[in-house]
Amino acid sequence: MTAYIGISKQYNKAKQLKKLKRWKEALHAYDRLLNYLDEDAATFLKHQKEKVAKGDIKGALRVALDGATANPSSTVLRSQSVLVNLLKKDFKKAKAVWQQSSEKEAYLKSTFIGMSECLLRLKKLKYAEEVVYKGLILFPDNSTLHLAAAVVAFKQGDWEQTIYHYEKVERLNKQLKPPELDRYASALTELKQYNQAEETIHEGLIHYQSDKRLLERLIFIAATKLDWEAVVIRGEQLLTEIGDKQDATKACQATMATAAMMLDQKKEAESWSHGVGERVFHKPLWLSETILMYKTNHRTSTLVIVEEKNGVYKGAVKTSISSLKKEPVDILTVKINLNEEVDELERIASHYARVIIIGFEQVNESTSYILKNLNGEALIFNPKYDETLVKMFANHSALTILFDSIIDNQDWDSLKQSMSVDGNRYPFRLKALGEKKDSISDRLFATYLRHFVTHSHALSFMEVHRLHLCALANECENRGKERWSKVLVQKA
């Protein structure tokens, strides 16, 4: 009974800590409880047999009871515990021990469930997965553990396992709640099982009528199918339930604004966007098989088109997009050569007052077209230096060229002089990022790009470099590395 009280006390402590959202402390409490419940069964069996061999029935009873308490999932230890009581002809106690073991089993289930929730809150997916699957080995038909396993799989992007666990829960005759239905349908959508995803949401709406999360999921499914008319229709259905567009989630607002834009409904697109006061958010949306948009929740007149690149420029592209997501601008990434998407890009770009293209290694036809016909601007990194590039400079005053040490065999002074002419807001200019043999870092390029996009005046490379060092100094200070912060400030 003392062991039972100890388990109950430890369990209640862990449960209370979890309720207070003190996840690390709760996890530690559950860990202690699990260790207590899951002692090595072999050790107890060995001691029990030794006691029985010596004729110490009372000692064997104590060991058996302790083993069954510590290992409620062990059928062997339960049986041994009951056997000792039967040898004493204490049938009442044998029955009580066997029934009590099921209570301990409930503690073990709750421990696995509680630990998995704490680990998920702490974003320790690997450990959460281990705990959940260990629990499922012991309790394969526990719906709560299957729900936890579904969340782990969903966060890991394992759509097949997500679907498997939700289907298992349904077979156990447990009704999924809106957040679970939302993840279930999202996983089905990722695998392009659109009809089943929509059926899942519609069945959910029978039980949870007018649930905003489920209605928005129908909008996201339609957007994934590029069915913009359906997105608008479902948006109207959502509005009849929530009343105000600003009560929709930021992801939904961005999706609805995109659908309106794709249908050339400019005023409707603006009505779904927030003003400057809101936190900047970007919703990723595929506009075609090769064009991905990061749509901001802000009203914006600026579109940045980034040409996706692998190899040496992959890091620069990734870092630059992450940096731009901090600003209220819309971002397009194009997976193939910009020339092959020029018509679609022109149609999308026509909705913006300012269009900026970020390219690498070449100045292509679509860049030239947008510069000429849409009053666009371009920032090209390490283009091939030839007569075509010089001619491009002669025709477009909003073209910025950046070089690093990849072309360090060039005569830098002559190159700067040949490219240096007067211009307007973005004059023709060449910025040698770093000295001749020092190539630019991805983060420094992102710093330059972010300033280029958000300011109406150009900075020299040294000014951008100084801003970059200051940003790194602030980051070091926030992480408690004051000495490094001071060194960076001095360098800046």
Task: For residue 96, tell me if it sits in a domain.
Answer: yes
pLDDT of residue 284: 92
CATH of residue 80: 1.25.40
Q: Of 102, 103, 108, 110, nearest to 18 (Cα)?
A: 110
- Whether residue 440 is contained in a domain is answered as no
**Closest to 364 in 3D by CA, of 378, 350, 374, 353:** 378
- The three-point CA angle 125-130-136 to 5° equals 120
pLDDT one-digit tens code per residue, 328-376: 999 998 876 656 667 777 888 888 888 888 877 766 666 666 666 666 7
Q: Name the residue among 232, 240, 247, 248 with its Cα closest to residue 283.
A: 248
State residue 178's pLDDT score.
94
Q: What is the pLDDT of residue 226?
A: 93
- Whether residue 183 contacts residue 164, with contact meaning beta carbons closer than 8 Å, is answered with no
Lowest pLDDT segment from 81-95, 112-126, 430-444: 430-444
Q: Which two tokens stand for residue 81?
A: 């515990």
Burial 389-405 (b: 16+ CB within 10 A, else e): beebbeebbbbbbbbbb
Number of structural domains (the chain) is 1
Per-residue confidence (pLDDT) for residue 227, from 0 to 100 = 94
The sign of the dihedral angle between the CA atoms of 9, 140, 125, 249 is negative
Spatial distance between the Cα atoms of 248 and 267, rounded to a whole number of angstroms: 18
Task: Please write the tens of the pLDDT for every residue from 169-186.
Answer: 999 989 999 999 999 999
CA distances from 168 to 111, 132, 145 (A): 21, 15, 11
Would residue 392 count as lying in a domain?
no
Structural domain includes residue 37: yes
**Tens digit of pLDDT for each residue in 93-144?**
666 655 555 555 666 777 778 888 888 888 888 888 888 887 887 778 889 8
At a CB cut-off of 8 Å and minimum separation 6, what does 187 contact?
Answer: 154, 159, 162, 163, 166
Q: Could you report how far apart the first and last alpha carbons of the chain are, in Å?
A: 68
Tell me which H or E stretch contains 66: helix 57-70
Torsion angle of C-alpha atoms 191, 195, 200, 206, degrees rounded to 10:
160
pLDDT tier for residue 202 given thresholds of 50, 70 and 90? very high
Write the DSSP symbol of residue 278: S
User: Which tens digits make up the pLDDT trace of 377-411?
Assistant: 777 777 666 666 666 666 665 667 666 544 545 55
The torsion angle over the Cα atoms of residues 47, 51, 57 and 61, rounded to 10 degrees, is: -10
Packing angle of the helix pair 212-224, 228-242 (nearest 10 deg):
170
Share of the chain above pLDDT 70, in %: 66
Using CA atoms, how far residue 181 sits from 40, 168, 169, 367, 393, in Å, is: 39, 13, 11, 44, 55
Average pLDDT, the chain: 76
- How confident is the model over 12-41, as a mean pLDDT? 72
Domain assignment present for residue 465? The answer is no
CA distance 488 to 492: 6
Average pLDDT over residues 295-304: 88
262, 271 in Cβ contact below 8 A?
no
Contacts of 193 (CB under 8 A, 6+ apart): none
- Tokens representing 349 are 């770009």
In this prediction the pTM is 0.71
Measured CA to CA, the distance from residue 305 to residue 355 in angstroms comes to: 8
* pLDDT (average), residues 30-49: 64
The answer to whether residue 423 is domain-embedded is no
Q: Which domain holds residue 6?
A: 2-139
Would the CA dihedral through 241, 247, 252, 255 be positive or negative?
Answer: positive
**Which among 229, 237, 232, 231 has a CA at the least distance from the CA of 210?**
237
DSSP-based three-state secondary structure for 365: helix
Question: Within a domain: residue 125?
Answer: yes
292 is a domain residue: no
